[in-house]
């Protein structure tokens, strides 16, 4: 009877351990940061884009352009290069930059070359098939162009790792090639070795000991 009770106890303990190790999925707010590692994530992309565009629009070029032209400047993104050690979806970062520019109300944004070509093809199709086609030759040229890069450095000792990210961007005046803004954003992430693996190993060692005790009882 005592042996049966021990076996039942071990079985219950095993079930509880397996249950703790199970996978659980829950829905969270898309704006909430969930950092499972030190890798570049969606929150990094959003925050860096917002801070750098705010800095860019605070420089004198924006005010000077509005005063001289009585209009908002028009911006295009040429290229943001990923030079980091990670595979990063740069297009997500580019879209965050676009949203920050448009949301500011201080500047307009024009599509890049491949997007403009697709729109031109649509306008040509409208001329042939639409009753009220948009006229050709009405595109707005960009006054300024953004380009930049994302770099990273990794420093690791044992299970602890520090990842350093640096984003550099610049704004060029398309009329005279003057660099009117140069921005830089740095950030560090520390990933420390957690204790979950140790806890799981300890639990399985404990379970092994209990099984041995039951087998000799």
Q: Which helix (H) or strand (E) holds 30?
A: none
The 10 Å CB-count burial string (b at 16+, else e) for 74-105 is: bbbbeebebebeeebebeebbebbbebbeeee
Among 68-72, 78-82, 127-131, 143-147, the range scoring the smallest mean pLDDT is 127-131
Query: At 197, is the pLDDT very low, low, confident or very high (cuts 50, 70, 90)?
Result: very low
Q: Which residue has the higher pLDDT, 152 or 197?
A: 152
Provide the pLDDT for residue 169: 98
Provide the pLDDT for residue 39: 83
φ/ψ (deg, to 5) at 149: -150, 155
- Strands ordered across the beta sheet of 144-157: 108-109, 74-82, 144-157, 160-173, 179-191
Domain boundaries, the chain: 36-112+140-216
φ/ψ (deg, to 5) at 145: -130, 135
Pairing of the two strands 144-157 and 160-173? antiparallel
User: Are the beta carbons of 112 and 61 closer than 8 angstroms?
Assistant: no
pTM to 2 decimal places: 0.68
Pairing of the two strands 74-82 and 108-109? parallel
**pLDDT per position as a tens digit, 111-146:** 766 665 655 555 555 555 555 544 555 567 899 999
Q: Show Cβ contacts of residue 177 under 8 Å, excluding neighbours closer than 6 positions.
A: none
CA distance 97 to 120: 24
Indicate the Cα dihedral angle 5, 7, 12, 17, nearest 10°: 140
Provide the pLDDT for residue 4: 59
Provide the pLDDT for residue 28: 57
CA distance 171 to 80: 12
Q: Which residue has the higher pLDDT, 55 or 160?
A: 55
Give the number of other CB atoms < 10 A from CB of residue 1. Answer: 5
Provide the pLDDT for residue 119: 58
Q: Is pLDDT at 199 greater than 60 in this prediction?
A: no
The mean predicted confidence, pLDDT, of the chain is 78
Query: At 211, is the pLDDT very low, low, confident or very high (cuts 50, 70, 90)?
Result: low
User: Are the beta carbons of 145 and 78 closer than 8 angstroms?
Assistant: yes
The two three-digit tokens of residue 78, written as one number: 């040429």
CA distance 95 to 101: 10
CATH code of the domain made up of 36-112+140-216: 3.40.50
Task: Give the residue from 191, 69, 77 showing the smallest Cα distance to 142.
Answer: 77
Among 13-22, 46-55, 162-171, the range scoring the smallest mean pLDDT is 13-22
Provide the pLDDT for residue 81: 96
Q: Which residue has the higher pLDDT, 157 or 180?
A: 180
């Amino acid at each position: 009877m005592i042996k049966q009770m021990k076996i039942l106890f071990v079985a219950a303990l095993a079930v509880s351990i397996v249950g703790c190790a199970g996978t659980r999925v829950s829905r969270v707010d898309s704006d909430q940061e969930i950092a499972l590692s030190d890798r570049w994530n969606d929150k990094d992309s959003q925050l860096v884009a917002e801070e750098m565009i705010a800095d860019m629009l605070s420089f004198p070029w924006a005010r000077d352009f509005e005063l001289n032209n009585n209009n908002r400047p028009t911006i295009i993104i040429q290229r943001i290069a990923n030079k980091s050690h990670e595979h990063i979806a740069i297009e997500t970062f580019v879209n965050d930059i676009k949203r920050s520019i448009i949301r500011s109300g201080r500047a307009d944004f024009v599509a890049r070359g491949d997007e403009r070509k697709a729109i031109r093809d649509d306008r040509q199709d409208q001329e042939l098939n639409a009753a009220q086609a948009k006229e050709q030759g009405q595109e707005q040229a960009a006054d300024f162009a953004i380009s930049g890069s994302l770099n990273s450095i990794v420093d690791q000792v044992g299970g602890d790792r520090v990842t350093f990210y640096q984003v550099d961007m610049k704004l060029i005046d398309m009329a005279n090639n003057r660099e009117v803004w140069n921005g830089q954003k740095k950030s560090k992430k520390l990933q420390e070795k957690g204790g979950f693996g140790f806890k799981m190993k300890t639990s399985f060692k404990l379970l092994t000991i209990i099984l041995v005790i039951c087998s000799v009882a």
